[in-house]
Amino acid sequence: MTDRFHVLIADPIHEDGRKLLEADGAFAVDTDTGLDAAEIVARIPRYDALIVRSKTRVTAPIIAAGSALKVIGRAGIGVDNIDVPAATERGIVVFNTPDANATTTAELTIAHLLSLSRHLPQADRSVRSGAWTPTRFVGAELAGKTIGIIGFGTIGRLVSARCAGLKMHVLAYDPFVAPEIMAESAAEPADLDHLLAVADYVTLHCPLIDKTRNLIDAVRIARMKRGARLINCARGGLVDEAALVAALESGHLAGAALDVFATEPPKGSPLLGLDSVVLTPHLGASTEEAQQAVSVRIAEDIARFLTTGAAEAAVNLPRISSEQLGRTRPYQELASALGGLVGALVDAPISELVVRLFGAVAELDPRPITAEALVGLLSKRMAGPVNRVNAAHHARGQGIEVRESRSEHARDYVSLIEVSAVTKAGATTVAGTLLGGRLPRLVRIDAYDVEAVPKGHFLFTRHSDQPGVVGALGGILARERINISRMHVGMDANGGGNGGEAIALISTSSPLPEAVLAEVEALPAVKQAVIFEL
């Protein structure tokens, strides 16, 4: 059979994944691990698919040499060892397996929960040393206790279900997940401060991004219930380890269980000397079942893509004709900026995203434009890659319904894109156009006309329409030596004020420090202040 797809497995994967491909007559599979870059470059031209784990680096030269290469599969979560932009440029789809080890990580969380509650590691060490002092290890029952889950993605939801089975009261905090989704997983929505104040156990399952780095710092640890316990099986940078050590030594926290650390391994960390801490060496995905799951999942995804073209779990762009890309690309870039802007302005769970196309742009297929609006909205809220292929999948996971509409009737512009985010409090709408068919411009925020290039650092305010506000904003920025590149004061699109409220959109030469934002928020006339980057 000469028309089979050729697959190269360059890193060891579980045999079940390999057998799945070998059993299908559509695939010819070669397993050759330990190849260096030059050897892969020499061999890759004949292969349609390449499967790796974390060891093999799939570089731009390897991708360029893959004249027949259609898909690269990473059996695991991270794709930092794959040059995704180079693959995308050549129309090669990249897959990973972000949820295949979710159950394993959730179960490790439960193991740490039980270890903390019953002092199991300490009791084990005591018995091995020859001691027999059960009164030293009086623990606590989990039934009836409150656990707070920070981050309610796939793993957080699995943890919630398991804790509910242990008869625990589950609180959940995730600013990007609708309360209805939490309720479906037996969790009660809570704001972060309330969760920290009442939870007996706090477990972290959120991505490590700029906004979540040191999420659990000295301030938030001080807000935690005295005697509470902290579990982190997500990312090491989520916890300020020095603050955690201080809280454990003072007795404010009764214990902690950590599978991840700011630096791995944590050599010299004071955590190593604390008996109230349970430590494991990043075991989240280290089970036989997880290794099998990631291997089978990547084999299934690659087989499905090569035989049907389905690419729901891809991390980069789908195959699309160069002609279609050329026509939609400027509008996709505009839609991404509009999605990022509306996401910055809305800090509540979004139940619906509406994308409306008016005028000439309505003649195009709206799906890639809508997908890019989702990319802009979600990309800074999630740890993994978000793109046109997987944006809708992630939106469903966040409880966001996506709608789109088209009208050939122009609204003041040859082409106009509106993006609306709907929450329980109402809708926030932004609109943009292309000047000359190629230069993106933001032209409206809710009922206010503006004209801004949607790129760079911004400060946005909603404030009372009164004298002195703009001067006060400019004075704060001037004192901090932050240059104002452009300033736009919004006017009601209907030609007047909007109940005594106005907006300001200020493009700055550099990002505002949080302290400066707090000063802006403290101005009596300011009702909302947001900093963001497009």
Give the pair of three-digit tokens for residue 487.
Answer: 């300033």
Residue 284 DSSP class: T
Alpha helices (H) along 143-208: 154-165, 179-184, 192-198
Sign of CA dihedral 99, 104, 105, 110: positive
Those residues whose C-beta lies under 8 Å from the C-beta of residue 408, and which sit 6 or more positions away, are 358, 359, 362, 363
CA-based nearest residue to 96, from 313, 379, 382: 313
- Positive or negative CA dihedral for 523, 524, 526, 530? positive
Does residue 265 have a cis bond before it (omega within 30 degrees)? yes
User: Residue 70, Cα to own-chain centre: how many angstroms?
Assistant: 26
Q: Which of 190, 207, 250 is nearest to 226 (CA)?
A: 250
Distance CA 399, CA 439 (A): 33
Are the CB atoms for 346 and 418 separated by under 8 Å? no
Retrieve residue 142's tokens. 């989990």
What is the CA 155 to chain-centroid distance, rounded? 13
Amino acid at 72: I
> How many C-alpha atoms does 250 have within 13 Å on its Cβ side?
13
Nearest to 8 by CA among 23, 16, 34, 25: 34
The Cα 490–Cα 310 span in angstroms is 45
Between CA 457 and CA 480 the distance in angstroms is: 15
Instruction: Let me know if 85 is exposed, middle or buried by CB neighbors in 10 A (0-12, 13-18, 19+).
Output: exposed
**Could you give phi then psi for residue 447, rounded to 5 degrees?**
-95, 10
- Enumerate the β-bridge partners of residue 257: 231, 278
DSSP 8-state symbol, 239: B
Rounded Cα distance, 396 and 352, in Å: 10
Helix 102-118 with 288-308: angle, nearest 10 deg? 160
Pairing state between β 415-423 and 401-407: unpaired
**Are residues 176 and 206 in contact, defined by beta-carbon separation less than 8 angstroms?**
no
Q: Which residues are catalytic?
A: 235, 264, 282
